[in-house]
Amino acid sequence: MPELKFAATLRALHDGGVEFILVGGLAAAVNGAPVNTFDIDVVHSRDAANVARILPVLEALDAVFRIQPERRLKPNATHLASAGHQNLITRHGPLDLLGTIGRDLGYQELIPHSVELDIADGLRIRVLDLETLIAIKEQLGGEKDRAALPILRRTLQEKKKAR
């Protein structure tokens, strides 16, 4: 397996002018929750101009669908314009491009629930806030989501205490 490069992947999206919000486990970790994750989850804007900006970035990252990497199936504009999840593998590791999360929440709905954070030298991106990460996991209610909730809730409590 190649070395995972979270920052390099996010920098490629950022430098390509892609509108996206970091969500999932990596967003939780960046928000301060002590959790491990092996993939990057982002919700992207599905408007045509943004989809057109994503495609060359994915090409540069050598992104193909993870389900059958040997077939080297590449995501196209139709995939990226959908509300579905594109589970990809890139030269820097797994990357999930999500049209929506939770109950049909897309980029526009999530923008008010995101914060801009500096996550590497010269790299400032939108990250879903901890409150919304928790709310979505509570809504989904799956075993995996419920398992993560105690750490996320306690992290939020500690953050509020520290303010």
- State how far the Cα of 53 lies from the Cα of 64, in Å rounded to an integer: 17
Which part of the chain contacts another protein (CB under 8 A), choosing from 11-19, 61-69, 115-123, 134-142? 115-123
User: Residue 36 interacts with another protein (CB under 8 A)?
Assistant: yes
**How many residues contact another protein, by CB under 8 A?**
30
- Draw the binding track, 9-28, toward another protein (x: CB under 8 A; -: no contact): -----------------x--
143-162 helix and 130-140 helix, angle to the nearest 10 degrees: 150
Smallest CA-to-CA distance from 120 within 42, 14, 43 is with 14
Region at 17 (left for phi over 0; alpha for psi -120 to 50; beta for the rest)? left
CA distance 77 to 79: 5
Residues 146, 102, 56, 125: is their CA dihedral positive or negative? negative
62 binding another protein? (CB under 8 A): no
Q: Which is nearer to another protein, 4 or 73 (CB)?
A: 4
Tell me if 64 contacts another protein by CB under 8 A.
no
Report the residue from 65, 119, 135, 145 that binds another protein according to the rule CB under 8 A: 119
Does position 147 bind another protein by CB under 8 A?
no
CA distance 4 to 16: 20
120 binds another protein (CB under 8 A): yes
Between 122 and 141, how does the x/- string for binding to another protein read (CB under 8 A)? Answer: -x---x--------------
What three-state secondary structure class fits 27? helix
Binding residues (CB under 8 A) for another protein: these are 1, 3-7, 26, 29-34, 36-38, 117-121, 123, 127, 150-151, 154-155, 158-159, 162
